[in-house]
Amino acid sequence: MREEMLTIGAFSKACRLSPKALRLYDELELLKPRRVDPDTGYRYYAVDQLERARLVAWLRRLGMPLARIRQVCALPAADAAHAIHAYWAQVEAETAVRRDLAVFLVDQLVAAPRKDTTMLELRYAAHSDRGRTRPANQDTAYAGNRLLAVADGYGPAGVPASSAAVEALRFLDTAELPAGDVLNLLEEAVRGATEAVRDAVDGADDAGTTLTALLWTGSRLALVHIGDCRAYLLRDGALFRVTEDHTVVQSLIDEGRLTPEEATTHPQRSLLLKSLSPTTPPDLRLRDAEPGDRYLLCSDGLSTVVPDARIRHLLTSTPSPDTAVHALIDAANEAGGPDNVSCVVADVVEAAA
Ligand code: MG
């Protein structure tokens, strides 16, 4: 029996892809006509190709790039479903980064002065510990009047990588902070840190560092974050995680392929999705500060072995940043200390007159 054929015009109407798009998808081998007339060059499509054409049309409406559509169309239905889910999770993650940037810009342009005129400042402490099992400490932790930073180096040049990143930011501790220019200053600082790390690892592409830093502007905190160190905020007794881990495991959670509980024991839970590099911009965010806020920056050596509830308890039960930092590091070591552990704790307080 002869197959029922549709002209490109009829096929186009049926699948809602324009003839022009169909010709392009033919060239890209995304959707080839079943038959091309050797004399006229007319394209003919089979009725059973409609399903694929409609899928292509829907994926275009999702904004999926053509190369990716070609991959999805080649998969069995269950795998295609999974690939679409993963694509959308990625779009949402990228949109979230852009949303944060938009919020940052809006905040910066309409910086509302604090209602009361109390001057605020930071009380802070930082400490880094080798842990119980690692031969060297590849973490770097720093706290100053304005700058708080934690970096977790990896690979053969992990030590110089993390220290170069933090060292390159230290000028922020004393730099003039022109009003409304925080974003530019941070971008410049991150570029400097990225170059410093590149020089420090000297071409070793399996070495690098994560970086999580807070810059105090006098009333707010600007956050720079890439990798799997974390920032937490303790406010009114509740603990909030301010950063997203840029890890493979977190992306599996976001895609619904792993539960947060499964992630805590996943063998590859420390595998990084992003680290400081010229091609992956860090997350940037601006946060309001309230007197009484306590911020914690920590490397994954704390968060992988000390649960959030315990972190919250230690942060609420220690009066000074210094005792908090040491209590947290002790907790990580009591839990086996499998990794280097670094903590920075900073309290937002009213400035001494
Ligand atoms: Mg680590």
Q: Please give the distance, rounded to the nearest whole angstrom, from the Cα atom of residue 341 to the centre of ligand 1.
A: 7
CA of 281 to the centre of ligand 1 (A): 20
- Over range 322-350, report the average pLDDT: 97
Pairing mode, if any, of strands 283-288 and 294-298? Answer: unpaired
Task: Look at the alpha carbons of 9, 14, 19, 22 in this order and tell me if their dihedral is positive or negative.
Answer: negative
- Catalogue the long-range contacts made by 290-293 (C-beta closer than 8 Å, 24 or more residues apart): 290/235, 290/348, 291/118, 291/120, 291/348, 291/349, 291/350, 292/235, 292/236, 292/347, 292/348, 292/349, 293/233, 293/234, 293/235, 293/347, 293/348
Distance 316 CA to ligand 1 centre (A): 24
Ligand 1 centroid vs 304 CA: distance in angstroms?
Answer: 9
The predicted model scores a pTM of: 0.74
CATH of the structural domain 120-350, one choice from 3.20.20.120, 3.40.50.300, 3.40.190.80, 3.60.40.10: 3.60.40.10
Residue 128 Cα, ligand 1 centroid: separation in angstroms? 11
Distance 303 CA to ligand 1 centre (A): 9
Cα(67) to ligand 1 centroid in Å equals 36
Using DSSP, state whether 307 is helix, strand or coil.
Answer: coil
**pLDDT interval class at 115 (50, 70, 90):** low
- Count CB neighbours of 238 within 10 A: 9
Q: What is the residue whose two structure tokens read 């070793």?
A: 204
Stronger pLDDT, 353 or 311, i.e. the higher one: 311
Burial classification of residue 76, based on how many CB atoms lie within 10 Å of its CB (0-12 exposed, 13-18 middle, 19 or more buried): exposed
What whole-number distance in Å separates Cα of residue 59 and Cα of residue 55?
A: 6
Q: Could you tell me the distance, in angstroms and rounded to a whole number, from the CA of residue 293 to the centre of ligand 1?
A: 26
DSSP class of 49: G
Residue 102: per-residue pLDDT: 83
Q: How far is the CA of 229 from the centre of ligand 1 (A)?
A: 8
Distance 221 CA to ligand 1 centre (A): 24
Of 151, 242, 241, 130, which is closest to residue 200 (Cα–Cα)? 151
CA of 141 to the centre of ligand 1 (A): 12
β partners of residue 43:
36
SS3 262: helix
CA atoms of 257 and 262, how far apart (whole Å)? 10
Question: What is the arithmetic mean of pLDDT over 192-221?
Answer: 91
Quote the CA–CA distance of 168 and 137 in Å, as a whole number.
19
* Mean predicted confidence (pLDDT) in 188-215: 92
Instruction: Confirm if 109 and 319 have CB atoms less than 8 A apart.
Output: no
- The b-or-e profile of 265-285 (16+ CB within 10 A means b, else e) is eeeebbebbbbbeeeeebbbb
- What residues pack around ion ligand 1 (CB closer than 5 A)? 152, 299-301, 339
How far does residue 233's CA lie from ligand 1's centre (Å)?
20
Residue 187's pLDDT is 86
> What is the CA(339)–ligand 1 centre distance, in A?
6
Q: Which of these CATH numbers, 3.60.15.10, 2.40.10.10, 3.40.50.150, 1.10.1660.10, describes 5-70?
A: 1.10.1660.10
Length of the chain: 353
| 1 pLDDT above the threshold of 70 | no
**What is the CA 304 to chain-centroid distance, rounded?**
17
Q: Dump pLDDT digits (tens) for 59-94.
A: 999 999 888 899 999 999 999 999 999 898 888 877
Higher pLDDT, 89 or 22: 22
Provide the 3-class DSSP secondary structure of residue 209: strand
